[in-house]
Structure 1
């Protein structure tokens, strides 16, 4: 069976100056689905779901600018020549690691202001985050970007000449790394969701913060090998930035789980979780 993917283009439709792009639609859909999911999971853990709705605003304000700033910084030579494109996020060019950093900072500030457990919040956001990444990767498909090296495999992605990097102009088909990562992320999502519901039945065995660190390790492991296939990696000298960050994230995740389960030490936290019951009681 042959699966030769070809993008229909980045634009869904346009009416005069009004343009609807696949990238924006996918990001908006991922946010909407993520909010709904995180609020449902919060309710199952006895956390007020309205808090996750409030947190979403902080995450958007932290993650999207963080993703863009991160990408622009490592591609500054390109954007220095076209500064007007710095804010043109609809053209693509965001980095998930920047989004994670920005979103984590936003969550930390939110947790401190509201005296809510940072690790509880991160546990509730992790499933939505990885599912959103699985959805968002299809934006790369429609933009014909973030693809891998040339390939003749039965599954392959056609890239228009205008989007091919120099040195690969004579090649038509490339590794669909967007698809690899999307499938990997769906697998990570399944693992985290399973752990979440297992934890509901075994609350004394699944420690708060575990889901966040499982996400960090499992997503980073997939990103590390997939990044090695790409032709457009953000580079620092001869190093692929995403691979360096992924290895660092894996090390942090493993050490944190050792801290929790081997040394049996609590994680430093920012406050106590406000549950639905406590909020209802205070309203009475």
Structure 2
């Protein structure tokens, strides 16, 4: 057994390797789960409901994120399809996970007679925490970075040395876009729980605020990245972010006129 054998790996036991990428994704998912459980308890629901929900959501979310990535990077996997399952090498497109998770969530809560927007308000803010943690997996894998910048630029951001050093890739320093998005997601989370949750009058406000906030953050961060999934000449993540933003705004308008009063 060996701890920290390299920058990507947390632990090796014989031929088995446990990567930081997996650890931060799981840590983020568990924090989101804990926040969701706390909100469900406040709403008076049995905590067992979210326990049943969490495992299926985690599996389908990862599968959806991987499928989304593989579809747009198919030439890379066509010759080596066995690599499709190697998610520990990186390659999860979170927007695919969100879409898969929403579909699963709709049917799960509908079956249990829990209003979808009530559940969405309880769960979606925590998703931002999971995403903020997950971006650090990109840091350890040295992926999802931005275009080249100068060392002086990174120092002006007052970043710790370990981040600056790990942004030196292929002979140049790069924008730490993983950090921009991680911090951006945390800011959106705080806005939702401190402002939207406090002032919102209708169920669904926090749910739709997620799509507005995350859509804005991802759109601008994606413009700095060098490894975007492309649909022709369009960055797919930016296109999806515009869709998320439109859904969020449309949802806010809908609940303003036809929404139900906030449950808690």
Q: TM-score, normalised by structure 1?
A: 0.82
Counterparts of 1:101 and 1:260, CA distance in 2:
21
Question: Which one of 234, 241, 245 corresponds to residue 246 of structure 1?
Answer: 241
* Partner residue, 1:189: 189
Deviation at 1:195, TM superposition (A): 3.9
Kindly report the root-mean-square deviation, in angstroms, between the aligned alpha carbons of the 2 structures.
Answer: 1.8
1:57-101 per-position Cα deviation (integer Å, ceiling 9, x unaligned): 221132110000000000000010111110000110000100100
Counterparts of 2:225 and 2:196, CA distance in 1:
33
Counterparts of 2:167 and 2:106, CA distance in 1:
42
Residue 173 of structure 1 aligns to a residue whose secondary structure is strand
Residue 174 and residue 250 in structure 1: after superposition, are their counterparts in 2 closer, same or farther (change >3 A)?
A: same
Residue 20 and residue 32 in structure 1: after superposition, are their counterparts in 2 closer, same or farther (change >3 A)?
A: same
1:159-181 per-position Cα deviation (integer Å, ceiling 9, x unaligned): 443xxxxxxxxx42000000000
The aligned length equals 246
Question: Which one of 70, 73, 88 corresponds to residue 86 of structure 2?
Answer: 88
* Partner residue, 1:222: 217
1:266 aligns with 2:221: no
Counterparts of 1:84 and 1:146, CA distance in 2:
22
Deviation at 1:197, TM superposition (A): 5.1
Residue 258 of structure 2 aligns to a residue whose secondary structure is coil
Larger RCO, structure (CA 8 Å, separation 6 or more): 1
Deviation at 1:125, TM superposition (A): 0.9
Residue 17 of structure 2 aligns to a residue whose secondary structure is strand
* Partner residue, 1:4: none
Runs of 5+ consecutive residues of structure 1 not aligned to the other structure = 1-7, 162-170, 200-204, 268-272, 276-284
Counterparts of 1:260 and 1:35, CA distance in 2:
26
* Partner residue, 1:59: 57
* Partner residue, 1:117: 115
Question: Which one of 4, 23, 29 corresponds to residue 21 of structure 2?
Answer: 23
Residue 128 and residue 41 in structure 1: after superposition, are their counterparts in 2 closer, same or farther (change >3 A)?
A: same
Residue 127 of structure 1 aligns to a residue whose secondary structure is helix
* Partner residue, 1:281: none
Residue 47 and residue 195 in structure 1: after superposition, are their counterparts in 2 closer, same or farther (change >3 A)?
A: farther
Residue 69 of structure 2 aligns to a residue whose secondary structure is helix
Counterparts of 1:229 and 1:111, CA distance in 2:
37
* Partner residue, 2:198: 198
Which 4+ residue blocks in structure 1 deviate beyond 2 angstroms? 45-50, 154-161
Tell me if structure 1 keeps the 8 A contact 2:167–2:175. no
Deviation at 1:256, TM superposition (A): 1.2
1:138 aligns with 2:147: no
Counterparts of 1:114 and 1:265, CA distance in 2:
23
Counterparts of 1:28 and 1:252, CA distance in 2:
28
* Partner residue, 2:74: 76
Would you tell me which structure has more helix in proportion to its own residues? 2
